Amino acid sequence: MITLDQHIDELTTEYTKRIARFTVQLYEYNKEHKKYKSPYQPIASGILITHNERVFMLTAGHVICDHNRGNIGIFEINTFYRLINEGQLIFYINPYDSKEHENYDITIWELDSDTISILKKHYDFLTPKNVLIKHDYSLSTQYLIVGYPSSRTKFNFFKSRLRPKIYKFLTRTVNESIYELLKLNPKVNFVVEYNQREIKKMGTGIIGRSIQLEGVSGCGLWYIPDPISNIIVSNNFYLVGIVFRNDKNKKYIISLKTNIIISILKEKFNLY
């Protein structure tokens, strides 16, 4: 007999394995790294999506602003692959430009054929049927965050090997008063609970302080219908937002809604 917490942990672990197939960890190459440290520093997460035979990576806009895009890439089987290539279209909104832009913190990066061929060996690409544009929710609706905190990626100097560890967290949405408190537009942003000082550990129910979330920016916020009683279905999860930050008091996680992202894809990339 297992507890309800253990049951939910098992279900969300299975969904995390599936979602991880669309979730990349992004690294930045730094040739001036410290001794015994990896030259490849984990900086963010990203989501791979495809439509009309084109493939894109979604991540936070500040990832492009804070780092050298020419040195950003993925790390697979001890090999670093830069994402930048001649002729690639990258659209991003700089959150530091204005008060309005800080809530539209997004990068959409179209990938070239060589990068796609490499990624196909390790990942799948999310299709539109698993992206929710119109989504009604209630305060009881639960969501899953799946990403790569930088602190969970370990480097073995002697084997020259990086070992990332994915992080999952089941949470719920907030009421309208929180949007007003954070000065956010619910038509643009999706906010969920994440009190970093009092996190309930999945599987045990023990409440304690969470890990630092640096590196989770750019990961997906996923809707899973009724995760408690749900039978595992391979494609029964839906992207509703791209995470870009938490609030200054570290009680909530803020994402950009998928309807905004789809609008950008239509306008800037002639999709949909």
Largest Cα span, the chain: 57
Question: Tell me, what DSSP letter sits at residue 61?
Answer: H
Q: How many CB atoms lie within 10 A of CB 271?
A: 16
Model pLDDT, residue 76: 85
Q: How many CB atoms lie within 10 A of CB 83?
A: 23
CATH number for the domain that contains residue 194: 2.40.10.10
DSSP, residue by residue, 17-48:
HHHGGGEEEEEEE-TTPPTTS-SEEEEEEEEE
Strands 90-92, 107-110: pairing kind: antiparallel
Number of separate domains in the chain: 1
Amino acid, res. 214: E
Q: Across the 272 residues of the chain, what is the mean pLDDT of every consecutive 10-residue run?
A: 77 92 94 75 96 95 94 88 81 93 96 93 95 80 93 73 87 93 95 81 65 90 75 76 94 96 94 75
Amino acid, res. 167: Y
Residue numbers of the domain that contains 28: 4-269
